[in-house]
Structure 1
């Protein structure tokens, strides 16, 4: 990140983009579209929704991404049949991304709270998980490379901030990096004994190219606007300021009407614009 203040982006949907168009265009903010993780949409007329979104974004030159599919599966399944289904879903997500001209797709980390205590108990279990993910993602990564669309692995239950970073490095693609969800990390910190959020930034370093900014109380995945919870935002942005990877800073809030409120709070702290 540069010495100038970073410009915030947002995660929005076909329903909420219109209310934020002026805000997005004024600073050409990064945008993550959050309609296409839904299986029902991917299996129906997703192109119609995508065309509608494209028409809304006329004149937008900020970086564009999507949240990929994630409901109901892990990218580290032991079952080859399930892995094939997951591969198919993620390839559907990439097809949408390419249609939209999106250059980033968020996918979910496979590491669980259980793994934090158990994965290193059994010989080679950590390596076996990586190989299961490789089996799931090999075709997805190849397609992402061809489409020039970066995949970013978002922490979900991850208690060890190094786990998904090591996974991304092990798979060895320039189009596979990591995402940080600040609220997920804060939940893990308070509820499962993980380190604080800024440690997740430091652990990822320049492998971090995407951040979901959301606040929590550390008890649940609130997706509140920054300022409503107890995340130490100054520490988080201090850690982000050390990076040269220029991560997309995406406000991902449960109530999209609070995006500008959350952005204003971070601006009032002198952390972002």
Structure 2
């Protein structure tokens, strides 16, 4: 058991308070989910970070946040929208700086439509990279300065390599890869993408973060691990080949099922 990978979790502060004993019993990595709304980032979020620090007294794992994502993409062609996205990313990184956070999740800009059409338009792939750089360049510099990694998470991605190319194009250790198992399983079941373990193998040691959730290959379920149809032995086998020590973040719709998720993976001899 002691050699098995240790699972962390994505939690709100309220859920962290409820699961605090579990999160402190081992060095479990934590991702806080309170800091993505624009209303929070535009306001005074210091009471939230102060509360987080109190709850994390004695915590031994790494800490990060899910960055802002609703209502925009990082490849917007609209100059005014890009300005807002740049602002949101920098606001999220200020939260990370206040928390001592070492990662912030950023959503991939690659859609199912892109998969079928990026090669249908001249220089579309290059333009997508350029737009992402225009949006993210200030955030990448800030992330470097504070020792934080921007991990780009697959959302609709059918091609597991496209956002890897995007991350590498920045030439920065602060831009790395995240895999969401449920998103990959949705793409596999509904759009013909490769299976989940292929997404992990594609990322290789650029993988620094993974959202672990179970699903049925049809929708973004965020079910308890072991209650869907993801092949978990293949996932953990692929993770076991890596040297990048990715954060293993259980991300559930119902946070109260975190203990069951950990217990189910422990029963399979995959994680603790």
Residue 93 in structure 1 maps to residue 87 in structure 2 = no
Note if contact 2:26-2:60 (Cα within 8 Å) is conserved in structure 1. Answer: no
Give the corresponding residue for 1:197: 196
Quote the Cα distance in structure 2 between the aligned partners of 1:108 and 1:161: 14
Paired position in structure 2 for 1:130: 129
User: Counterparts in 2 of 1:114-153, with a 5 A limit?
Assistant: 114-153=113-152
Higher mean C-alpha deviation, range 181-190 or range 47-56? 47-56
Report the counterpart of residue 217 of structure 1 in structure 2.
216
Aligned-residue RMSD, C-alpha: 0.9
Of stretches 194-203 and 53-62 in structure 1, the one that deviates more from structure 2 is 53-62
Greater mean deviation of Cα atoms: 105-114 or 115-124: 115-124
State the Cα deviation string for residues 212-260 of structure 1 (Å, max 9, x = none).
0000011110100111110000011111111000100000000000011
After superposing on structure 2, the runs of 4+ consecutive aligned residues of structure 1 that deviate more than 6 Å are none
Shift of 1:4: 2.6
For the Cα contact (< 8 Å) 2:187–2:217, is it kept in 1? yes
How far off its partner does 1:43 sit? 1.6
SS in 1 for 2:219: coil
Structure 1 spans left out of the alignment, 5+ residues: none
**Equivalences for 1:40-119 in 2 at 5 Å?**
40-119=39-118
**Structure 2, unaligned runs of 5 or more:** none
Shift of 1:265: 0.7
The size of the alignment, in residue pairs, is 271
Give CA-to-partner distance per residue, 1:182-203, whole Å, 9 cap, x none: 0000000000110100000011
Q: TM-score, normalised by structure 2?
A: 0.98
After the TM superposition, which of the residue ranges 172-181 and 37-46 deviates more from structure 2? 37-46
Aligned to 2:271: 272
